[in-house]
A and B are shown apart, each in its own frame.
Chain A
Amino acid sequence: MEKRELVCIGCPLGCPLTVEIEGTEVVSVTGNTCKRGDVYARKEVTNPTRIVTSSVKVEGGVLAAVSVKTKEDIPKGKIFECVTALKDVCVKAPVAIGDVVLADVAGTGVDVIATKNVIASTS
């Protein structure tokens, strides 16, 4: 039996959660004071995921960089692989919100998309 200590992020109360895990099965969640804590703890120990945001270089735009995000959340363990993959990405202006900047990042099946419009510079 493995025990994991977490802090719930559901509200400012921040309940200290204890999760008991048997193999890949969650046996119990304690310390939570509402249902949200239970849901959060189960997801966090079995399949923690995050949206990753960053920015990449733009060529020929009015701005030097464009902000980006993973279109959906990706496994927490893939965060660093994701930002590393974005390191050398350079896109050509114009860029529009939603444009795919990098497809299937780090083998997650999730695309990285632009979160800002950058128009081409006139010069």
Chain B
Amino acid sequence: MLNYDIVIVGGGPAGLAAAVSAKRNGAESILVLERDKELGGILNQCIHNGFGLHTFKEELTGPEYAQRFIDQLLEENIEYKLNTMVLDISKEKVVTAMNRSEGILEIQAKAVILAMGCRERSRGALNIPGYRPAGVFSAGTAQRLVNMEGYLPGREVVILGSGDIGLIMARRMTLEGAKVKVVAELLPYSGGLKRNIVQCLDDFGIPLKLSHTVVDIKGKERVEGITLAQVDENRRPIPGTEEFYECDTLLLSCGLIPENELSRELGVEMSPVTSGPLVNESLETNVEGVFACGNVLHVHDLVDFVSQEAQAAGKNAAEYVLNGKKEGGKDIPIIATQGARYTVPKTVNPQRMDEKHVVRFRVGDVYKNCYVSVYLDDERIIHRKRPVVAPGEMEQIELKKEQLEAYPDLKEITVKIETE
């Protein structure tokens, strides 16, 4: 049995930042386990720029952003294992992993940080009818093939879903010589950043069809074409609106799901909204000493926020290892309602929290000229005007310890969107 203070599952942006922060906050022995052949996670295939504006005040590409954190990990002499798959985490925090050179490994940790990231929603999960030919890829798979392995998955492409990966791949495939015929989006708005709609679609004259979905895939061996149809307000296809597009490739960019198989087996309590663990202000799950950060906790749009969140998780895990669980105080639930879909964290303990604490959340719809409001029981303490909030852009508010401590009988904190 190997022994470490902290074992971190995943060597992507969350795992890297958590490891560095844990070390700098006093944890002695840290081990990062990564299943790929290199550190950096999904950033390695995100070769476009726009990363790190908040963290480094410059626009980096994904691999450059990852390297900044890999360099910090190496400077801190933090151990890591590549090509290593974690199979199980027990309640006693024994991590079982395996790789080709060492076989099965059992590692006793004092604390575990979950940083496994997320996966793309697959064709199976979308229930798209039609044959099952070659040529249907998730946008992320296509991204890896084009950017890292040097293959072009197809020549004539239709993309379903207008999330950022789908938009980025529309541009990328176009630049590599493919013809992207259309991007279809089920919802009446795009979940992608405005900048990506302009620079990935408009720049190349690629049409975006809102309130449209794929109703049929044609082709037995290889995709020969797909049929799009308009959908009504209940997202059901409207008969008579079908349109056929000849193509050899369909890319799916239809949302990301936190990858929590390990967490579930460990008995971590999950949020049905985010599909990620429910955590307190220390980003600790209901299993003591097990922390979560990054896309495994909730899907982010900016890696800078992943890094920030992971730094907090690393610091908290280090403090847990050095001083044990902080006792005392009361966990106050944070209720997300009226437009706010969820919050991370789910509870906050005024006695144990830092002077200031960032609460991140998403809204369920597009709201214009609205207010983001926070109530301590019935008292409104934050009322911030926002010209627009949208599901595609994560929101955040800041809770102050002194504000919360002024309400000793506080029962709940509520986050909501108000029109006035």
Which A residues fall within an 8 A CB radius of B?
A: 6-14, 33, 50-55, 57, 63-65, 67-69, 76, 79-80, 83, 97, 115-117
Contacts and interface: CB of A to CB of B under 8 A. Distances in A.
B88 to A, nearest CB: 30
Contact of A83 (B67, B176, B390): B176
A54 B387 contact: no
Given A7-B194, A55-B148, A69 B388 contact: no
A65 B61 contact: no
Contacts of A13: 194, 368, 387-388
A25 to B, nearest CB: 23
A55 to B, nearest CB: 5
B147 interface: yes
A53 B61 contact: yes
- With most chain A CB atoms within 10 A of its CB, the pick from B63, B67, B198 is B63
Contact of A115 (B63, B202, B388): B63
A33 B387 CA distance: 10
B197 interface: yes
Nearest to B198: A9
Contacts of A76: 203
Nearest to A48: B203
Nearest to A54: B175
B64 A97 contact: yes
Nearest to B175: A83
Interface stretch (B41-49, B329-337, B343-351): B41-49
B327 to A, nearest CB: 42
Q: What bracket does the count of chain B residues touching chain A fall in?
A: 20 to 34
Contacts of B197: 7, 14
Interface in B16-39: none
Contacts, number: 82
Contact of A57 (B47, B60, B150): B150
30 contacts: A7-B194, A7-B197, A8-B194, A9-B195, A9-B198, A11-B194, A12-B194, A12-B389, A12-B392, A12-B393, A13-B194, A13-B368, A13-B387, A33-B387, A50-B203, A53-B49, A54-B47, A54-B175, A55-B47, A55-B148, A64-B149, A65-B147, A65-B149, A67-B62, A76-B203, A79-B175, A97-B63, A97-B67, A115-B64, A116-B64
Nearest to B70: A117
B351 to A, nearest CB: 36
- Of A68, A69, A76, the most chain B CB neighbours within 10 A belong to A69
B98 interface: no
Contacts of B59: 51
Nearest to A117: B67
B287 interface: no
B340 to A, nearest CB: 16
Contacts of A64: 148-150
B193 interface: yes
Interface of B: 44, 47-49, 59-64, 67, 146-150, 175-176, 193-195, 197-199, 202-203, 368, 387-390, 392-393
A56 B147 CA distance: 9
A40 to B, nearest CB: 10
Given A12-B390, A55-B147, A50 B199 contact: yes
Nearest to B147: A55
Given A55-B47, A55-B148, A67 B176 contact: no
Contact of A116 (B44, B150, B388): B44
Given A12-B193, A14-B194, A68-B47, 11 more contacts: A12-B194, A33-B387, A50-B203, A54-B175, A55-B148, A55-B150, A67-B62, A79-B203, A83-B176, A116-B44, A116-B47
A11 B388 contact: yes
A116 B393 contact: no
Contacts of A33: 387
A23 B84 CA distance: 61
A122 to B, nearest CB: 14
Given A11-B388, A12-B392, A13-B387, A115 B148 contact: no
Contacts of B147: 55, 65, 67
B388 A12 contact: yes
B197 to A, nearest CB: 7
Contact of B202 (A7, A52, A53, A63): A7
A116 B63 contact: yes
B360 to A, nearest CB: 16
A14 B392 CA distance: 13
